[in-house]
Structure 1
Amino acid sequence: MQSSTFTLSPSLSISHHKPRTRFHPSRFHASKTNVNVASFSSLPLRPCSLASSSSFKLTPWTSLHRFQARATSVPERDGVAASDSGALLRTLELGALFGMWFIFNIYFNIYNKQVLKVYPFPLTITAIQFAMGTVIVAIMWGFNLYKRPNISGAQLAAILPLAVVHTLGNLFTNMSLGKVAVSFTHTIKASEPFFSVILSAMFLGEESIDNITLFSIITVMSFLLSAPVTIFTEGVKFTPTYLQATGLNINEVYIRSLLAALCFHAYQQVSYMILQRVSPVSHSVGNCVKRVVVIASSVLFFKTPVSPVNAFGTAIALAGVFLYSRVKRIKAKTA
């Protein structure tokens, strides 16, 4: 009988010759084969495959580092995909905020102009708008929709000049809307970014207050500043009795005034929300685009006649503000 022979190596092969003999573990001796069997137990092995012949091979599945590389590549791809989806979501959110900013501003100017044409009391209208904003701020703080701030006396003293300027700016805007076209008013207001930079540097400095909180505090302070001045200057002329005596439609005046006040606070609130997400220079560019949209919509709605000279002057003013914003942006990148 011919004896069966076998060899054991990293590529384990066992061959048998007929007549077949049974392999028994007790006949295996490590000293004769010079193979450390324990070293193979730590290697990941591919399942054995039996061929038609009587030989088969056991080979390592793959190297450990290659397996780890495949295992870690999937989370990296998932992280990149999650980052891309997060960036897309932030872009869509920012676009929605810009859209609301434009829409609220358009409706504010339309409703406000309609009221001021029949009710020529800009101080009263300004105080009503700040009152609406104060109610909204109180709701936000009262129901913890936004964290109520802890403001020190020094911070209030720093914010007070901004509140005064904010009050005067909106008062003069209402006075202008009552006298001239919306397009002319917003052409003048296009210079806001220039004065905002100067006033912020003069009065605010480096106060550690977020934009929403700052706007909320300014709104409340503006109401407290405008209310007594309004009563002393124009008196109480928003009662139903007074409006009825002047022949005005009470419901229309009230509804349009409240809608204008709501849009007034909403567009400024959204403006500060955008300012939290973009740089001041990008915000000023968006503000310039918003002026163009508001002017165009008001001209179409009120059918305001625009001469070539007026159109040319408006274009120069808006182009100047846009170029100013672009220069500021370029300087910010090179700094």
Structure 2
Amino acid sequence: MQSAAAAFGLVRPCPARPPLQLGPGSSSCRPILLHARPLAAGIASSSRGPAAVAARSLGRLLLLPPPPPISPDRAGRGRARHVACGAAAGDAKAEEEESGLAKTLQLGALFGLWYLFNIYFNIYNKQVLKVFPYPINITTVQFAVGTVVALFMWITGILRRPKISGAQLFAILPLAVVHTMGNLFTNMSLGKVAVSFTHTIKAMEPFFSVLLSAIFLGELPTVWVILSLLPIVGGVALASLTEASFNWAGFWSAMASNVTFQSRNVLSKKLMVKKEESLDNINLFSIITVMSFFLLAPVAFLTEGIKITPTVLQSAGLNVKQVLTRSLLAALCFHAYQQVSYMILARVSPVTHSVGNCVKRVVVIVTSVLFFRTPVSPINSLGTAIALAGVFLYSQLKRLKPKPKAA
């Protein structure tokens, strides 16, 4: 067999050696594979005779040399790569957790600033309106400060300057009108009644939202949404009956504020203002603020006159520095809490934002009662609590959509 294999050139004969010794020191000859597969395949394909059969049999008997052993260095590198991959996956997971924690902390800080700016706005605003009963002047100052802030942010590049057409400005104009009226009516109410009572009445915003959406947009509410309005209306009525600072001017001003602010929301849906990429919510609010200033300034001049001047304040026996400082701080807080509100809305769902707004109203009411030492009866507190609970229930039920009817 060996001579036949040698004739085909498949194996090389070993020289004469001592008999085969098994063991570690064995020097026995091992057959070496010399292109056995290609040659055998070629012979098998070219002939079907005894030679081909012999070649195929020999191919099955040939032995391959054993694979070289893995060196310790190579094995160590493999283990190192495995450990490195595991460490990288662990680092990625840790970075993801840290990123999620950072976003949560950032969102919590924004909510805290939203509440804080709102609290200080209501406190400073009430202090000024108490001694300076000119709500149109005060509202104009707030829009003027907001205009300066918006222009500063556009000039410095903090906020991208919007690209807006004349047609868009014309479409935004109705929003600016109702925005102006809403803030003016709010300041009128704050000047007449307690801060807590104004915000209790403003808890009725969902009622007017449902009513105006049904009338102008044809959006009919579900039965559950309608039922959630009952505690809101009942709570506000109960709080109004027992409010120590109640007067009709403050009550109807707050109600008018609800109507105008919800009209703004309905108008924004009705007009469907087309936004460019640079016209986000903050830019839209800034444009509305600038337009509101130019709308209200002539009204203030024609009705109340320019009252917020050092001469007028001094002649009224007021502390000029104190009134001007608090008016400026109230205006800055007003614009700041609006900006932060839009920043939060960009990070959370509208339902979460609505719940946060409900909590904000609770915080403002409680803080104002404590700061101004507003007398509150148990029934008044109960009415306020019922109204705010209804607002929370409304915000939860609003997101539920009716199931489509089967065909």
Q: 2:24 maps to what in 1?
A: 15
Matching of residue 180 in structure 1 with residue 189 in structure 2: no
- 1:162 and 1:203 in contact (8 A); partners too: no
Distance 1:332 1:107, change over 3 A: farther
CA distance in structure 2 between the partners assigned to 1:34 and 1:271 by the alignment: 79
Q: How far apart are 1:67 and its partner, in Å?
A: 9.2
Matching of residue 114 in structure 1 with residue 127 in structure 2: yes
Distance 1:36 1:299, change over 3 A: same
CA distance in structure 1 between the partners assigned to 2:19 and 2:147 by the alignment: 102
Q: How far apart are 1:69 and its partner, in Å?
A: 7.0
Identity level (%): 60
CA distance in structure 2 between the partners assigned to 1:318 and 1:286 by the alignment: 12
* Unaligned runs of at least 5 residues, structure 1: 7-13, 49-59
Farther-moved stretch of structure 1 (156-165 vs 125-134): 156-165
Matching of residue 313 in structure 1 with residue 383 in structure 2: yes
Q: How far apart are 1:160 and its partner, in Å?
A: 1.6
CA distance in structure 2 between the partners assigned to 1:206 and 1:281 by the alignment: 24
Superposed counterparts of 1:133-212, under 5 Å: 133-192=146-205, 194=209, 195=262, 197-204=265-272, 207-208=275-276, 209-212=279-282
Report the residue type matching 2:120 in the other structure: Y
Matching of residue 103 in structure 1 with residue 112 in structure 2: no
SS at 1:107's partner residue? helix
Superposed counterparts of 1:24-43, under 5 Å: 30-31=32-33, 34-36=63-65, 40=67
Report the residue type matching 1:328 in the other structure: K
Farther-moved stretch of structure 1 (74-83 vs 316-325): 74-83
Q: 1:56 maps to what in 2?
A: none
Q: 2:255 maps to what in 1?
A: none
Distance 1:118 1:158, change over 3 A: same
CA distance in structure 2 between the partners assigned to 1:285 and 1:332 by the alignment: 21
CA distance in structure 2 between the partners assigned to 1:332 and 1:99 by the alignment: 35
- 2:281 and 2:342 in contact (8 A); partners too: yes
CA distance in structure 2 between the partners assigned to 1:207 and 1:190 by the alignment: 30
- Name the count of aligned residue pairs: 303
Report the residue type matching 1:262 in the other structure: L
Return the structure number with greater relative CO, CA threshold 8 A, min gap 6. Answer: 2
What is the CA RMSD across the aligned residues, in angstroms? 3.2
CA distance in structure 2 between the partners assigned to 1:173 and 1:167 by the alignment: 10
Farther-moved stretch of structure 1 (72-81 vs 246-255): 72-81
Q: How far apart are 1:70 and its partner, in Å?
A: 6.3
CA distance in structure 2 between the partners assigned to 1:95 and 1:135 by the alignment: 28
- 1:108 and 1:263 in contact (8 A); partners too: yes
Superposed counterparts of 1:58-137, under 5 Å: 61=75, 72-137=85-150
CA distance in structure 1 between the partners assigned to 2:403 and 2:171 by the alignment: 30
CA distance in structure 1 between the partners assigned to 2:81 and 2:399 by the alignment: 46
Q: Deviations over 1:125-165 (max 9, x none)?
A: 00100111111111110000111110122222222222111
Q: How far apart are 1:30 and its partner, in Å?
A: 3.2
Matching of residue 259 in structure 1 with residue 329 in structure 2: yes
CA distance in structure 1 between the partners assigned to 2:384 and 2:271 by the alignment: 31
- 2:125 and 2:326 in contact (8 A); partners too: yes
Q: 1:329 maps to what in 2?
A: 399
Q: 2:359 maps to what in 1?
A: 289
- 1:211 and 1:275 in contact (8 A); partners too: no
Distance 1:15 1:242, change over 3 A: same
CA distance in structure 2 between the partners assigned to 1:245 and 1:134 by the alignment: 29
CA distance in structure 2 between the partners assigned to 1:262 and 1:280 by the alignment: 25
Q: How far apart are 1:316 and its partner, in Å?
A: 2.0
Q: Deviations over 1:9-40 (max 9, x none)?
A: xxxxx7138xxx9x9xxx98735993347xx4
- 1:282 and 1:329 in contact (8 A); partners too: no
Matching of residue 47 in structure 1 with residue 72 in structure 2: yes
Q: Deviations over 1:34-71 (max 9, x none)?
A: 3347xx46x8x1329xxxxxxxxxxx949x9x998766
Q: How far apart are 1:303 and its partner, in Å?
A: 0.3
Q: How far apart are 1:260 and its partner, in Å?
A: 0.5
Q: 2:253 maps to what in 1?
A: none
CA distance in structure 1 between the partners assigned to 2:396 and 2:152 by the alignment: 38
- 1:107 and 1:260 in contact (8 A); partners too: yes
- TM-score between both structures, scaled by the size of structure 2: 0.67
Q: 2:15 maps to what in 1?
A: none
Report the residue type matching 1:16 in the other structure: G
SS at 1:150's partner residue? coil
Q: 2:372 maps to what in 1?
A: 302
Q: 2:228 maps to what in 1?
A: none
CA distance in structure 2 between the partners assigned to 1:188 and 1:205 by the alignment: 30
SS at 2:266's partner residue? helix
CA distance in structure 1 between the partners assigned to 2:384 and 2:360 by the alignment: 14
